[in-house]
Amino acid sequence: MRYLVTSALPYANGGVHIGHLAGVYIPSDIYTRYLRLRGEEVIHVCGSDEHGVPITLKAKKEGVSPQAIVDRYNTIIKDSFEKFGIAFDIYSRTSSATHAQTASDFFRHLYEKGEFVEQVSEQYFDPEASQFLADRYITGDCPKCGAPGAYGDQCEKCGSTLSPLELKNPKSMISGAVPVLKETRHWYLPLDKHEAFLRQWILEEHKEWKPNVYGQCKSWLDGGLMPRAVSRDLDWGIPVPVEGAQGKVLYVWFDAPIGYISATKDLTPEWEKYWKDPSTKMIHFIGKDNIVFHCIVFPAMLRAHGGYNLPENVPANEFLNLEGDKISTSRGWAVWLDEYLVDFPNQQDVLRYALCASAPETKDNDFTWRDFQQRNNSELVAIFGNFVNRALVLTAKYFDNKVPSASVLSRADSDTLAQIGVQRKAVEHNIETYHFREALFEVMNIARLGNKYLTENEPWKTIKTDPERTGVVLNVALQIVASMAIAAEPFLPFTADKILSMIGVKSFAWGDLGRNDLLAPGHPLGQAELLFSKIEDEQIEAQIAKLQAIKAAALEASQPAAQIVAPLAAPQKEIITYDDFAKLDLRVGKVLRCEKVEKSDKLLKFTIDTGLDERTIVSGVAGNFTPEELVGRNVTVLMNLAPRKLRGVESQGMLLFAGDPAGEEFTNLAPDKELKAGTAIS
């Protein structure tokens, strides 16, 4: 069987932290190491995702080129992975020449096949910098919480998702100018065209996918797929390879997964057999935020292109938290791999172990330093390290550090050895079904078995009465140690290597696991050393203090910002003529009825007596008024605004209010005195 394993491309605007490792790279690394050890044909590809708006923003902020940013982080990321033994066959990057060509060809192919639809839409444009603005390039006041500095796609203060058009006082982050709406043409991948196929492929043929993955796909498919834009107005990325597309690049989510293909091309000229030969199984390891792209969008792209395999499975993990809070690169709330290695040199496997044992496989999980310490001290040191050490030290002491012979095995001896085979099956089954936490537990059970075996057979006692029996027991114990070296390799590669050198063996294959003749009688052992060492309370307290400092710094930084929130009058808008004003038909109206719009948070549906007619007007003020509050009151109505449907209800005008809907001061704009409906306002 041939396998192509991909790991989510890390975004090159920061380093790698424990969340990345636990969610994606440790599982994928375990999986590939296991397959390699079995002798399967497998490659593991990854690389940096180097396009997209956040990188251009960071570059602008630092006054350097985007390329400089991605060069910096690509180096850091690559280095972290190498040091932690994440054994990619290639770690590439999406700013490479191969990738530019591959992604460009891919787009071109779809374009020529007529797989895209073109559409013109209105987007914010910066008139001073004369360029279109990506959502992230627009900042303004959050329409929900009122905080300044919200981005066009999200407010980091209250966390709500936004669209640039909703921002109050929008400003271009490039020039500071007020953006204007302008038409722009983009290419869309009509996902709806592939919906029937995806339904069948995922919902019928891949019921074995993890519940979170399957559930999310089902949710998307049931909701109906829509065309998705695959281009952007931006100058950092892969140019859209079509005539008349100046200033447009491939959307980063279109370009990134193609990065898996270009990485494979960079690795081997035989890349096509990994992508196109139906006997190859492709597995995407990702985090839960990427599910839709890997299960819906990318497969649709591959299928639209034709000739490519679709993934066999997409084992997405949930998220890892850190000491009770969400990990955040921008807030600095993370444990970075490079920093970890400074504080815990040569202890990569401890972190690999702790993260795998508490991996967020079925739900979000919390990484705590106490848990990390406990995993090390009472599992790695006490169970695993201690067992190996016991077997080796006893052999050195009683048998001159050579493997003693095992002439006659007792029933207990064979049962113990047979049990390793049972553990092996359990490990295999769990790895193959992506249950790495459980698989690791079963590996540890082999060490538990070893400890129990030694305690029950007491070689330190029999040496006085029956040295030959002691030899047999230690022989068996050493076979278990050898098996541990094999079983641990996918999970704890550094430790496995250490054991191999301690028992004087170059390498084993997975198939050797559980054999009772891995170490022949008389085989000389190497120098015994401790596999793991205890982590003291002080070390853990130092790490916790480090995090507390980050939190304190973040809090301080947010204080002055909060003061600037003080209400600033919005700048005056552009001068208009009297004629412009005269176009507005404003009248006094009276609220006859008012109710909440179903399935909506903020919308109220008003029935207004305008003097002319009774009309329905929808307004987003449910957060400010209860429906009853305004009934019978005068309101100011803009009569001649083009009707528009909101949540399925047609609004035939607009009601005027004063204030910031998210703020405390917000009021209905009505005449001083009760007036008849229909009274003109001028």
57 vs 55: CA distance, rounded Å: 5
Give the total residue count for the chain.
682
Binding status of residue 82 toward RNA by CB under 7 A = no
Contact between residue 318 and residue 348 where contact means Cβ atoms under 8 Å apart: no
121 vs 161: CA distance, rounded Å: 20
- The residues in 491-530 that bind RNA, with binding defined as CB under 7 A, are 530
Shortest reach from residue 396's CB to RNA, in Å: 9
b/e burial code for range 392-414 (CB count within 10 A of at least 16 → b): bebbeebbebebbebeeeeeebe
Q: Which is nearer to RNA, 153 or 512 (CB)?
A: 153
Binding status of residue 460 toward RNA by CB under 7 A = yes
Q: Which is nearer to RNA, 126 or 349 (CB)?
A: 349
Edge to edge, what strands does the sheet with 2-7 contain? 90-93, 41-48, 2-7, 280-287, 316-317
Shortest reach from residue 36's CB to RNA, in Å: 27
Q: Which residues contact 632 (CB under 8 A, 6 or more apart)?
A: 590, 591
Q: Which positions from 580 to 619 touch RNA by CB under 7 A, shown as an x/- string?
A: -------------------xxxxx-------------xxx
HSE (side-chain half, CA atoms, 13 Å) at 492: 32
Q: Which of 50, 126, 266, 379 binds RNA (CB under 7 A)?
A: 379
Binding status of residue 625 toward RNA by CB under 7 A = no
419 vs 620: CA distance, rounded Å: 67
Binding status of residue 319 toward RNA by CB under 7 A = yes
- The residues in 528-547 that bind RNA, with binding defined as CB under 7 A, are 530-534
Q: Which of 185, 429, 452, 583 binds RNA (CB under 7 A)?
A: 452
Binding status of residue 251 toward RNA by CB under 7 A = no
Q: Which is nearer to RNA, 531 or 588 (CB)?
A: 531
Q: Which of 105, 166, 338, 339 binds RNA (CB under 7 A)?
A: 166
- The residues in 175-234 that bind RNA, with binding defined as CB under 7 A, are 211-212, 214-216, 218-220, 222-223
Contact between residue 70 and residue 30 where contact means Cβ atoms under 8 Å apart: no
| 8-state DSSP, 381 | I
Shortest reach from residue 110's CB to RNA, in Å: 21
b/e burial code for range 70-109 (CB count within 10 A of at least 16 → b): bbbbbebbbbbbeebbbebbbbbbbbbebbbebbbebbee
Written as one letter, the residue type at 452 is K
Q: Is 617 helix (H, G, I), strand (E, B) or coil?
A: strand
Binding status of residue 371 toward RNA by CB under 7 A = yes
Q: Which is nearer to RNA, 141 or 266 (CB)?
A: 141
Binding status of residue 122 toward RNA by CB under 7 A = no
Q: Which is nearer to RNA, 93 or 194 (CB)?
A: 194
Closest CA to 304 of 233, 376, 228: 228
Evaluated on CA atoms 177, 183, 186, 192, the torsion sign reads positive
Binding status of residue 642 toward RNA by CB under 7 A = yes
Among the residue ranges 30-38, 175-183, 284-292, 423-431, the one whose residues contact RNA (CB under 7 A): 284-292
Contact between residue 296 and residue 191 where contact means Cβ atoms under 8 Å apart: yes
Instruction: Say how many residues touch RNA, by CB under 7 A.
Output: 82
Q: Given 3-state DSSP classes, what are the helix, strand and coil percentages for the chain, each rounded to the nearest 5? A: 45, 20, 35
Binding status of residue 163 toward RNA by CB under 7 A = yes
Binding status of residue 672 toward RNA by CB under 7 A = no
Among the residue ranges 58-66, 162-170, 409-417, 588-596, the one whose residues contact RNA (CB under 7 A): 162-170
Shortest reach from residue 286's CB to RNA, in Å: 11
| 8-state DSSP, 337 | H
Binding status of residue 446 toward RNA by CB under 7 A = no
Binding status of residue 9 toward RNA by CB under 7 A = no
